[in-house]
């Protein structure tokens, strides 16, 4: 049997994305987000997750997509990046898929708004195309921009 990865999939707009489940701590429903002033624009605020304060970023904004009001399908993907815990808002979370490595292709250059460094590839599952993300890179990219903003 060939090797494979397990990914949790979620939607942003019309695209379907996948993240290696080892990068995901939990997926929770939308809760009230406390806005924090004077933060980079893609930082939505912080939430209280069982007594811990977790910063929330809006992946739509991060990827330069239009902002939408949260719906009942909206979810927050909680992920540990290094020693830091962070939550990311997505339109909806779907399922956990096992994708064989040989059905993952190099990402085409033209995936709207995505930096190549957090794009791991595109998984093909029948008709479905799943964009595979490396969340650690999503954040370090975010921090980079934050630093640029500060400077």
Partner 1 sequence: MADEHFDRAEFIAYFRDEAEELLHRIDADALKLEQSAAAGKADPETVNALFRALHTIKGNAAMLGFGETARLAHGLENLCDLLRTESVALSPVCAELLLRGRDLLSALVAAEPSGGTIPAALPAFLERLSGIEQKEASPDRAPQAPAEATPRTVAGLRRQTIRVDIDRLDLLLNLVGELVINRTRISDLAASLSRTDGEEPLRKALLESAGLLARTCGEIQESLMKVRMVPIGRVFERFPRVVRDIAKARGKEVRLEVSGAQTELDKTIVDEIGEPLMHLLRNCIDHGIELPEVREREGKPREGTILLNAYHAGNQIVIEMSDDGGGIDFDRVRARAIAARFIAPEERLTEQELLELIFRPGFSTAENVSELSGRGVGMDVVQKAVTHLKGFFTVESEWKRGTRFQIKLPLTLAIITALLVRVGKALYAIPLDVVVESQRIESAEIRSVASNEVVTVRDQIVPLIRVAEFFGTDVARDPEKAMTVIVSVQGRNIGLVVDVFEGEQEIVIKPLSDLVGRIPGISGATILGSGAISLILDVHALVADAYASGKAARAELATAET
Judged by beta carbon, residue 5 or residue 142, the one nearer partner 1 is: 142
- Phi and psi at 51, nearest 5°, equal 85, 0
User: CA 27 to CA 22: how far, in whole Å?
Assistant: 13
Sheet holding 128-133, edge to edge: 92-100, 4-12, 15-20, 128-133, 119-125, 104-105
Judged by beta carbon, residue 55 or residue 121, the one nearer partner 1 is: 55
Does 34 sit near partner 1 (CB under 8 A)? Answer: yes
* Least distance from partner 1 to the Cβ atom of residue 135, Å: 12
Does 12 sit near partner 1 (CB under 8 A)? Answer: no
Does 80 sit near partner 1 (CB under 8 A)? Answer: no
Q: Which stretch binds partner 1 (CB under 8 A): 38-46, 58-66, 68-76, 101-109?
A: 38-46
Q: Which of 13, 21, 35, 144 binds partner 1 (CB under 8 A)?
A: 35
* Least distance from partner 1 to the Cβ atom of residue 46, Å: 6
Secondary structure (DSSP) of 48-100: EETTEEEEEEEHHHHTTPPP----TT-EEEEEEETTEEEEEEESEEEEEEEEE
Q: Which stretch binds partner 1 (CB under 8 A): 12-20, 29-37, 89-97, 123-131?
A: 29-37
Does 144 sit near partner 1 (CB under 8 A)? Answer: no
Dihedral, 125, 139, 80, 19 alpha carbons, nearest 10: 0
């Amino acid at each position: 049997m060939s090797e494979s990865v397990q990914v949790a999939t979620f939607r942003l707009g019309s695209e379907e994305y996948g993240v290696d489940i080892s990068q995901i701590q939990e997926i929770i429903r939308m809760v009230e987000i406390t806005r924090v002033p004077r933060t980079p624009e893609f930082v939505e605020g912080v939430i209280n997750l069982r007594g811990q304060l977790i910063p929330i970023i809006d992946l739509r904004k991060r990827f330069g997509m239009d902002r939408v009001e949260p719906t009942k399908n909206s979810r927050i993907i909680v992920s540990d990046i290094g020693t830091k815990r962070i939550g990311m808002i997505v339109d909806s979370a779907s399922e956990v898929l096992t994708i064989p490595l040989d059905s993952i292709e190099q990402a085409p250059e033209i995936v709207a708004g995505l930096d190549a460094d957090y794009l791991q590839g595109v998984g093909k599952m029948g008709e479905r195309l799943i964009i595979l993300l490396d969340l650690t890179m999503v954040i370090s990219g975010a921090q980079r921009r934050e630093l640029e903003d500060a400077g």
